[in-house]
Amino acid sequence: MSVAASCGGHVFRDPALLERALTHRSAAAVHNERLEFLGDALVGAIVAEALYARWPKAAEGELTRARAELVRESALAALARRLDLGPRILLGPGEMKSGGHRRESILSDALEAVVGAIYLDAGFEACRAAVLPWFAEAIEALPPPHKLGKDAKTRLQEWLQARQRPLPTYSLLSESGEEHAKTFRAECALGEPPLRREGEGASRRAAEQAAAEAVLGALDA
């Protein structure tokens, strides 16, 4: 397989490392699982260090929940899509036929393998410098530490119940895009106080969560 010797802002001195990181076990005997093992630990350490610096007063449990939010499979798969890793992953015929380059488990594993490859290619400092910007937007979007672990719909429900107000209703407004990359738009509506907000996401649930977050933002304003 021939791949460009760069990925996610890092130019590889040893292109074979990147090639291995982008090779699924279904495609070859030498594949990316060992690099994924290494990358998993590195991603955890890099994200943990960033959260430790960002929230100097956060408790251990809050930091742990924040890290889990950032390194969960779906979050890593979303990063892999942003880096356009899917089309670069070498898959066996069966995985290729079933759309494996879009599967979240394969994407997240490849992302971790790339991180492991960067570390072996250039060391920890270069690895952190390349990888940390990938997470910057997600870290910035995290709710305050005391709100971690509860999604927007749960927090909105608790806010309304504490004030003995009716629960919200959610409506799917639209869905667009190709089957493997759809965008959903949903609305969250309150009766008391009367309030409506919309949100978008890659699934109906994500769109509803975004709408609920928008309502919470309006209530806090």
- The predicted pLDDT at position 178 comes to 79
Please indicate, yes or no, whether residues 87 and 133 belong to a single structural domain of this protein: yes
Please indicate, yes or no, whether residues 94 and 27 belong to a single structural domain of this protein: yes
Task: Say which amino acid occupies 74.
Answer: S
Please indicate, yes or no, whether residues 130 and 86 belong to a single structural domain of this protein: yes
DSSP annotation of 12: -
pLDDT, tens only, 42-100: 999 999 999 999 999 988 988 988 998 899 888 899 999 999 999 999 999 988 888 88
- The predicted pLDDT at position 221 comes to 64
H runs (alpha helix) in the chain: 15-21, 33-54, 60-71, 73-82, 93-97, 104-122, 124-140, 152-162, 204-220
Please indicate, yes or no, whether residues 43 and 60 belong to a single structural domain of this protein: yes
Q: Is residue 212 part of a domain?
A: yes
Contact 37, 116 (CB under 8 A): yes
Please indicate, yes or no, whether residues 136 and 177 belong to a single structural domain of this protein: no
Domain span at residue 36 reads: 6-143
Q: Is residue 50 part of a domain?
A: yes
Per run of 10 residues, the mean pLDDT along the chain (length 221 residues) is: 72 96 94 97 97 92 89 91 93 89 91 98 97 93 76 88 94 87 92 93 90 90 64
Q: Is residue 1 part of a domain?
A: no
Please indicate, yes or no, whether residues 27 and 87 belong to a single structural domain of this protein: yes
- The predicted pLDDT at position 4 comes to 58
- The predicted pLDDT at position 100 comes to 84
Please indicate, yes or no, whether residues 56 and 139 belong to a single structural domain of this protein: yes
Q: Is residue 200 part of a domain?
A: yes
* Catalytic annotation, residues: 40, 112
- The predicted pLDDT at position 3 comes to 46
Q: Are strands 183-190 and 195-201 parallel, antiparallel or unpaired?
A: antiparallel
Q: Choose the final residue of a domain: 143, 171, 202.
A: 143
CATH number at residue 75: 1.10.1520.10
